[in-house]
Chain A
Amino acid sequence: MLDKPASALRLRERLLDSERLMEETGCYDGITELTLRNQDPLKFETLHTKLRAYCVSAREMARRISASPGVREVGEMVVAIYTPEGDAIALSNGIMVHVHTMSRFIKWMIKNNYEENPKIREGDIFANNDAFIGTVQVPDVMDVVPIFHEGTLVGWAGAVCHELEAGGITPGGDVCLAQERFTEGLFVCAEKIGENDEIRRDYVIRCERNLRMPIYWVLDEKAKVASCIDMRESVKQLISEIGLDYWMKVSKEFIEEGRRAQLARTRQLTVPGIYRGHTFYGHVTAGKPGFQLLGDPDWLYNIPIEMEITSDGKITMDFEGTQPWGYHSMNCTPAGMDGGMFVTLTQHMNFEGLVNDGAWMATELKLPHGTWTNPDNEMVATATSWALLLPAYGVFQRLLSRSFVARGFVEEAFVGQVNSPMIEMGGESQYGTPFGMAHFECAAAGSGALAIKDGLDTAYVGWNPESDMGNIEVWEQSMPMVYIGRSIVPNSGGAGKYRGGCSFVSTWLINKTSHLRLHTSEHSSRVFDNGGMCGGYPAPTCQKHRAVRNSDIHELAAKGEPLAHSPGIDPDVSDYEKNIGGDHVVVEGPYITSPHKSGDIFSHSYNGGGGYGDVLERDPIKTAWDVENGFLTREAADQVFGIVLKDDEDGYPVADIDATVERRAAMRKERLAKAIPVTDWIAKERGRVGKADFAPEVKKMYASAIKLSSRFTKEFSDFWNVDAKSIFTPGAKP
């Protein structure tokens, strides 16, 4: 074991040394024995608990400083403590995706000789939101401060807040119109933004002059710096109690212990082998204002994932066969991919013991160069990376879940996180002032089902295990819209023995403004992107937007006429069209249009999760409850689940068990009568494949995958017994 208390080496040399030791020994920092843990396990565990308490306490304190409902209400913040080389030792709850992206930021500064210039001194504050340095997207702004003890750098404290306004080409943070880096918003590229524990005035001025709603960003900066200083002082106090040498050793043993624990948990909870899955994302922007014609306006991405669990417990995820980066906002950097892996692991496997970067070190991501997962062009936009990250890590959750099912831990199987659209806005506020904001009620979509119960309704997103939609009243303070409805979307969870969690839809009346820009992102309307498992169906695709311009809602209200509070359950004619007069608008995909004004109505629907198991095994009694409470429609109960409902004397639905048994037997027969052998289907489809008889976007997807991946080409060719290259890329060089 390397013994290097308060090493005199420069940081860069220490980092390279640490990486070399990991390479040589397979153990973090060359720690082959957990000496301190073995000497005094109680002291070891207690110290880590203290560090975690420092983090949780600092985050809670900081949330009270923030002015942003995203941070105050929804908890879009995380903090962590790092080694001098930038590896996370302990972290808070919150948006844990950023624990490892901050690690990349610190390492980037070290590798780029920040010790030399701009220098790393006590009291310095560094900030970053550049995804190619270490974050996911521009609104994820991170601050770190070095921790010194008697002149020696002994660690870092870091904090991230998701900003609700980032100053991009469209208001908000998930800037849907960003097709290159230059339209994403205000970049802070690993900058020293403060000294002597004070944020520089010129930095604040830059923020104030480049953001639509600087109060969010600037106060979040203060909140983050306060949390970092709080953690720093706590760590310094701890070091004065336990001694510097002990700190330097134990902080690294914590990480090695985390790495070993992750490997052990994999061996305990899973089955070794190769797992495969895929998801898709469809983007529709043809004819929408503002999009530059830099690439195809409409496109389809495939996201295949192969996960391998080896006998030592290592998990490797391979994205080979996926699509190239593009001139859109949904590219992701390796930092973002790492973050997705980290936050997913914390929820599934790394939820006990010493949660830290060690778990991430027990995994490996294979991100093909030139794809959206690892762009070979650093000018690309990553403003809405989540659109692809979320469905991709939903697949990861399903792959892990299959291993849990195989091992017998059915209670851990979870169909996974979902991609769900979000809404952002800007223009003139209800107070007559300029404003901009991302509406973060999106942080409470439906989850995938579990293998033993239905998914969570309106209560889960992948990036923050503490999902929360926030209070209506708080959101209404921040935007010139008032809610006229927020309700469960029936059937929005994928059907199955256990259904996916349902999502919700909000309906707003635009109020006290003559200029409200509403934009939405992360739409995948043409395909299913939130899959099911073990016979469960995917959740419905992303729903269309329904708006009413120049509505007569005030006249209706004055007359006491009924209003519409949701789109309703008729997919062809919404309740708005039935009940409200005005110019009705139905928009598929990202909502990019001319500004709204007072009296207009706008609705936005979020996504539910995929289902688990065969629909014909769903509990009829639970289904009757679902229908009574608006989670399922009667139509779905009958048509999808084969559950016959009748009304009790008070008009409430109750299951008719005998009739249900009969109906399901008939449906099962019908299912078998309709189905054909897979071998027959393959023989029939081969003809279509040979002629590439597909929509242009589908053909383009195959051509791109074939160009980038020889493995995808071989697997495609082998499966269909065709020459994929000659079909989809005729004329291309062999």
Chain B
Amino acid sequence: MTSYSKEVLGDLAAGKLPWPQTRRIMSAYKDDDRFFKMVAVYQDRVAWKDPILLPVSDHLFICQSGDERITRCECGHSFGDYRKNWKLNAAINVRNTEEALREIYPNSDLPDPEWMEIREFICPECGTLHEVEAAAPGYPIVHDFEPDLEGFYREWLGRPLQGS
């Protein structure tokens, strides 16, 4: 069975693994022990102790925090119950003028701000830009991901979560 060390997976996640090695991992049969090893890599990366249950973005994790399961930023900031849209507890910067769009697109033709805006969802504590939505003005904020967390652990991983 294919398997990689935690160090290799850590470098892979950090984009530091040499390309030939990365390419081999991409082409090879997948390693069935990946999930928990990768969770361990992320757990080492964060300063907090709550056990990570699921990575959901580059710096966002669902974790077990006491009796609750919450979405937490890598810096430790809590966005609340993982079943709710974390974006609603984020800070936002909206780019809906040519001037504001030009800051990100200095040399390109721009879209029409009357038709489209950029919404930046930011961690209010550390300032990490977690997600960018490009949407028509007035479009509801998207709830990107509602994982079937309990089903995943119970049926796919064979390790039911405590309390589920």
Are A302's CB and B139's CB within 8 A? Answer: yes
Give the contact stretch, choosing among A19-27, A50-58, A492-500. A492-500
Query: In the complex, which residues of chain A have a beta carbon less than 8 angstroms from the beta carbon of B137?
Result: 688, 694-695, 698
> Could you mark each residue 4-16 of chain B with 1 if its beta carbon is under 8 Å from any beta carbon of chain A, else 0?
0000010011010
Complex contact A719–B115 (CB within 8 A): no
| A194 sits at the interface (CB 8 A) | no
Complex interface: chain A residues within 8 A of B12 (CB): 410-411, 452
- A697 — nearest CB in chain B belongs to which residue? B115
Looking at chain A's contact residues, the main secondary structure is mixed
**A532 an interface residue at 8 Å Cβ cutoff?**
yes
A684: nearest residue on chain B (CB-CB)?
B94
Q: Is the CB of B155 closer than 8 A to any CB of chain A?
A: yes
Instruction: Give a binary string over A266-284; 1 marks a CB under 8 Å from any B CB, 0 the rest.
Output: 0111011111111110100
Chain B residues at the A interface, C-beta cutoff of 8 Å: 9, 12-13, 15, 17, 19, 22, 25-26, 29-30, 32, 34-35, 37-39, 54-59, 87-94, 103-112, 114-116, 118, 120-122, 124, 126-132, 134-149, 151-152, 155-156
0/1 string, A473-493, CB within 8 A of B gives 1: 000000000000000001110
Evaluate whether A452 and B22 lie within 8 angstroms (CB atoms) in the complex, with A491-B107, A678-B91 already known: yes
Task: Say yes or no: is A559 at the interface (Cβ < 8 Å to chain B).
Answer: no
Beta-carbon contact of B93 and A411 below 8 Å: no
A570:B107 contact, CB within 8 angstroms? yes
The docked-state distance in angstroms from the alpha carbon of A425 to that of B50 is 61
Chain A contacts for B29, CB-based, 8 A: 352
CB pair B58–A497 under 8 Å, yes or no, is yes
Name the residue on B nearest A665 (C-beta). B127
Q: How far is the CB of B112 from chain A (nearest CB, A)?
A: 4
> B94, A411: Cβ atoms under 8 Å?
no
| A300 interface residue per 8 A CB criterion | yes
Complex CA gap A640/B93 in Å reads 15
Cα of A588 to Cα of B35 in the assembled complex, Å: 47
B140 surroundings in chain A (CB, below 8 A)? 715-716, 719-720
Establish whether residues A527 and B32, one from each chain, have CB atoms under 8 Å apart when the complex forms. Answer: no
Minimum CB–CB distance for A259 against chain B, Å: 19
A535 and B32 contact, CB distance less than 8 A: no
B70 to chain A, nearest CB (A): 16
Q: Which 6 A-B pairs give the minimum distances between C-beta atoms? A: A408-B38, A719-B140, A675-B91, A540-B108, A273-B147, A528-B134
- A677 adjacent to B30 (CB under 8 Å): no
Enumerate chain B residues within 8 angstroms of A402, measured Cβ to Cβ: 56-57, 144-145
Contact partner of B34 (CB less than 8 A), chosen from A408, A495, A615, A682, is A408
- Residues from chain B with a CB closer than 8 A to the CB of A685 are 138
In this complex, how many residues of chain A approach chain B with their Cβ under 8 Å: the count is 92
- The answer to whether A531 and B134 touch across the interface, beta carbons within 8 angstroms, is yes
Alpha-carbon gap, A679 to B85, bound state (A) = 12
Contact A278 B124, CB 8 Å, known A452-B13, A525-B109, A535-B129: no
Q: A495 to B120: give the CA distance in the assembly, Å.
A: 13
Known: A272-B148, A402-B145, A614-B129. 15 other contacts (CB 8 A): A272-B152, A272-B155, A452-B15, A491-B106, A491-B108, A531-B134, A538-B134, A543-B109, A640-B103, A671-B129, A672-B91, A678-B91, A682-B141, A695-B112, A698-B137
State the Cβ distance, B67 to closest chain A Cβ, in Å.
22
Closest to B34 in A: A408
Q: Is the CB of B155 within 8 A of A311?
A: yes
Which of A278, A688, A701 neighbours the largest number of chain B CB atoms within 10 Å of its CB? A278
**A–B Cβ pairs within 8 angstroms, 15 of them:** A272-B151, A273-B148, A275-B145, A406-B145, A408-B9, A497-B15, A527-B134, A535-B57, A543-B108, A571-B108, A614-B59, A633-B107, A676-B91, A677-B124, A678-B91
Task: Give the distance to chain B from A380, nearest Cβ to Cβ, in Å.
Answer: 24
* Residue numbers in B under 8 Å from A615 (CB-CB): 129
**Distance of A525 Cα from B90 Cα, bound (Å):** 30
- Smallest distance from the beta carbon of B156 to chain A beta carbons, Å? 6
Q: Which of B88, B140, B142, B156 has the largest number of chain A CB atoms within 10 A?
A: B140
Among A269, A536, A619, which residue has its beta carbon within 8 angstroms of that of B30? A269
Cα A716 to Cα B140 in complex, Å, equals 6
B139 pairs with A278, CB closer than 8 A: yes
Q: Among the interface residues B58, B88, B116, B142, which one has the most CB atoms of the partner chain A within 10 A? A: B58
CA distance A694 to B138 in the complex (A): 8
Select the residue from B17, B54, B156 with max chain A CB neighbours within 10 A: B156
- Interface residues in A368-415 by Cβ distance below 8 A to B read 402, 405-412
How far apart are the CA atoms of A716 and B39 in the complex, in Å? 36
Using Cβ atoms and an 8 Å threshold, which residues of chain B touch A571? 107-110
Chain B residues, Cβ within 8 Å of A613: 58
Give the docked Cα–Cα distance between A280 and B133 (Å): 11
- Residues of A near B56 (CB, < 8 A) are 402, 405-406
Please state if A675 and B54 are interface contacts (CB–CB under 8 Å): no
